[in-house]
Amino acid sequence: MSKGILTCREKEVFELLVLNKTTKEIAEDLNISEKTVRNHISNAMQKLGVKGRASAVVELLKLKEISL
Protein backbone atom coordinates (compact mmCIF):
# COMPACT_ATOMS: atom_id res chain seq x y z
CA MET A 1 0.00 0.00 0.00
CA SER A 2 1.33 3.42 -0.89
CA LYS A 3 1.19 6.45 1.35
CA GLY A 4 -1.63 8.90 0.97
CA ILE A 5 -4.14 6.35 -0.26
CA LEU A 6 -6.97 7.59 1.97
CA THR A 7 -9.19 10.48 1.00
CA CYS A 8 -9.02 13.61 3.14
CA ARG A 9 -12.43 12.76 4.58
CA GLU A 10 -11.44 9.19 5.50
CA LYS A 11 -8.38 10.58 7.23
CA GLU A 12 -10.51 13.15 9.09
CA VAL A 13 -12.82 10.38 10.31
CA PHE A 14 -9.89 8.36 11.70
CA GLU A 15 -8.34 11.45 13.30
CA LEU A 16 -11.61 11.86 15.22
CA LEU A 17 -11.79 8.13 15.98
CA VAL A 18 -8.42 8.22 17.74
CA LEU A 19 -9.83 11.03 19.90
CA ASN A 20 -12.30 8.41 21.15
CA LYS A 21 -15.28 9.96 19.38
CA THR A 22 -18.32 7.84 18.56
CA THR A 23 -19.71 7.41 15.06
CA LYS A 24 -22.53 9.78 16.07
CA GLU A 25 -20.12 12.44 17.36
CA ILE A 26 -17.97 12.18 14.22
CA ALA A 27 -21.09 12.56 12.06
CA GLU A 28 -22.10 15.67 14.01
CA ASP A 29 -18.58 17.16 13.91
CA LEU A 30 -18.26 16.66 10.14
CA ASN A 31 -21.92 17.45 9.40
CA ILE A 32 -22.49 14.11 7.64
CA SER A 33 -24.70 11.11 8.42
CA GLU A 34 -23.63 8.23 10.66
CA LYS A 35 -23.98 5.92 7.65
CA THR A 36 -21.51 8.06 5.71
CA VAL A 37 -19.07 7.88 8.65
CA ARG A 38 -19.38 4.08 8.65
CA ASN A 39 -18.87 4.02 4.86
CA HIS A 40 -15.67 6.09 5.18
CA ILE A 41 -14.37 3.72 7.88
CA SER A 42 -15.31 0.68 5.82
CA ASN A 43 -13.66 2.05 2.66
CA ALA A 44 -10.48 2.91 4.56
CA MET A 45 -10.33 -0.57 6.14
CA GLN A 46 -10.72 -2.13 2.69
CA LYS A 47 -7.91 0.03 1.26
CA LEU A 48 -5.67 -0.86 4.21
CA GLY A 49 -6.53 -4.55 3.96
CA VAL A 50 -7.55 -4.83 7.62
CA LYS A 51 -10.56 -6.12 9.50
CA GLY A 52 -11.59 -3.72 12.22
CA ARG A 53 -11.21 -0.11 13.24
CA ALA A 54 -8.41 -0.80 15.71
CA SER A 55 -6.29 -2.52 13.04
CA ALA A 56 -6.93 0.37 10.68
CA VAL A 57 -5.80 2.87 13.31
CA VAL A 58 -2.61 0.87 13.94
CA GLU A 59 -1.85 0.76 10.20
CA LEU A 60 -2.52 4.47 9.76
CA LEU A 61 -0.25 5.29 12.70
CA LYS A 62 2.51 3.10 11.23
CA LEU A 63 2.14 4.86 7.87
CA LYS A 64 2.14 8.23 9.62
CA GLU A 65 -1.20 9.04 7.99
CA ILE A 66 -2.59 10.02 11.41
CA SER A 67 -1.02 10.81 14.74
CA LEU A 68 -2.08 10.57 18.36
Say yes or no to pLDDT of 64 above 60.
Answer: yes
pLDDT at 68: 87
- Residue 21 binned pLDDT confidence (cut-offs 50, 70, 90): very high
Contacts 24+ apart (CB under 8 A), 17-22: 17/41, 17/53, 17/57, 18/57, 18/66, 18/68
Mean pLDDT of the chain: 93
Q: Report the predicted TM-score, pTM, of the whole model to 2 decimal places.
A: 0.89
Say yes or no to pLDDT of 39 above 90.
Answer: yes
Q: What is the mean pLDDT of residues 17-23?
A: 96
